[in-house]
Structure 1
Amino acid sequence: MVAYVVTATGNLLIIALSWVDRHLHTQMYLFLWNLSFLELLLVSVVVPKMLVITLMGDRTISFASCIVQSYLYFLLGTTDFFLLAIMSLHRYLAICHPLHYETLMSSRVCSQLVLASWVAGSLWVLCPIILMATLPFCSPNGIEHFLCDSWPLLKLSCGDIRLLDLLAFVFSTSVLLGSLGLTSVSYTCILATVLRNPSAAERRKAFSTCTLHLTVVVIVYGSSIFLYIHLSEAQSLLLNKEASVLSCIVMSLLNPFTFSLRNDKMKQALGDSLRLLQPTAARKL
């Protein structure tokens, strides 16, 4: 409950500041508030039902609601990969090719890239979800998970799932490896450029920022890869649950503080907003 409230508050704060403060109407903050919006939706898809199960003991969910939750979960997760890859490319161009940055990453181009990542995420998972919804399901109908993940759902089907399993593997692997490859190459080039910087202070600042971002990337991709590792059934189930908690809840909690709230302009915008909210008399004092 506390993690959900903090995550929702942090992401809503970033979205509000990015919209209200004109100093944040730049390409980078367009990506950041979209990432915050995505994380807010992701925890809202998963956590409320999990809280109902935990606090009220209601462990039932309709088949339609389960399919919708599964679709939204994978849509948002796939879009997250696309956004992280685009953000890494954006940082690469800003640091390694500053003279061409405004031309290659104009506000219009960034808006189109963000829109494309949302559209691609929604379409990428549509076919596997439709195929999964048409499968015959047999009793027992208990899902060994706190969300309607694809693997626990497929285990309940009494139909032939080989084609769907292969399709899901190809789709997920292509998204994971494609976005991870672009992100890895971008940050490798960024680090190489930073190392050539003669200023030790600038190198430390850049390394500090890159380390935080790379930590998020490693956890996001690492937890997602763990979701597709199948050892014994008990070990796979445990890994699946732990990786889902890490990617859904922990990362949604960390992202606002890692990418946005540690940013100097974001902190300045937050301070300006707090001063504006203070009563006039308090400001005079």
Structure 2
Amino acid sequence: MSFKQQCVGLSDGRLMPLLGYGTCQNPEIPASKILESTKIAIDIGFRHIDSAYVYKNEKEVGEAIRSKITDGVVKREDIFLTTKLWNTFHRPELVRVGLERSLKSFQLDYVDLYLIHYPVSIKAMEKCKDAGLAKSIGVSNFNRRQLEMILNKPGLKHRPVCNQVECHPYLNQSKLLDFCKSQDIVLVAYAALGSQRPTNWVDKNAPFLLNDPVLCGMAKKHNRSPAQIALRYQVQRGVVALAHTYEQKEMKENIQVFEFQLSSEDMEVLDGLNRNFRYFPVNIAAEHPNYPYSDEY
């Protein structure tokens, strides 16, 4: 595969671009906006596109990818497409049904990565990989204990290649990152720039990450934007960072994170911003036995 961005190797031998275009959107934004912004993201050079069944935009994301293939901008194998199994398809007999429904929406033959959106069994996911419907499989929002339950499962055929979790300077997930690295699992950061989601998802009093004075000071020092600093922080740690914006100028800035480097001192300063703060605590599921955020990490 040919990418403008740097890639990280997955445990199954495949490559994932370190920077991805996230398509999670405010429910009030029309899906057509995702169609156009995804096209622009591909034109600018993004090759990793992150979607999910619950985002309700797989049709538009697929249309954007297919249109750029038709235009000759990319080939299918140039795009690393991720989608996720939602909670309504957790029963083993529904897992492949859920993936096939997503593929029908995308109008594509396979996804590059299929994730369990919230902690459940992985056995039926393995069958999706065996069938060629997903090139790689992984998990999302799993804590260490839940990952160990999968990794220690007798007869495990395909290890999860990644764990996609909320991760940014206010929640740097350093302990979970160290554990994942020890198990050859790539950490993927959603909300890498904090949150721009509506208040029914995020506390309206939540701190705005990109206004953080330390982040802004470092951005000024490097003549970069605060978003570029936050993204560069992740890719230098070996974390795949997902960034979402509708603005073409911001997309172009985000993809420039490979054009500069932070010093070890800079990285230590950014590490110091950690406050274990979640923008997305999903409190509605706090009483569920598989709720992942009760553990330290």
- If the TM-score is normalised by the length of the shorter chain, which range does it land in? under 0.3
The structure in which a higher percent of residues are strand is 2
TM-score by length of 2: 0.23
The structure in which a higher percent of residues are helix is 1
Higher relative contact order (CA 8 A, sep 6+): 1
TM-score by length of 1: 0.24
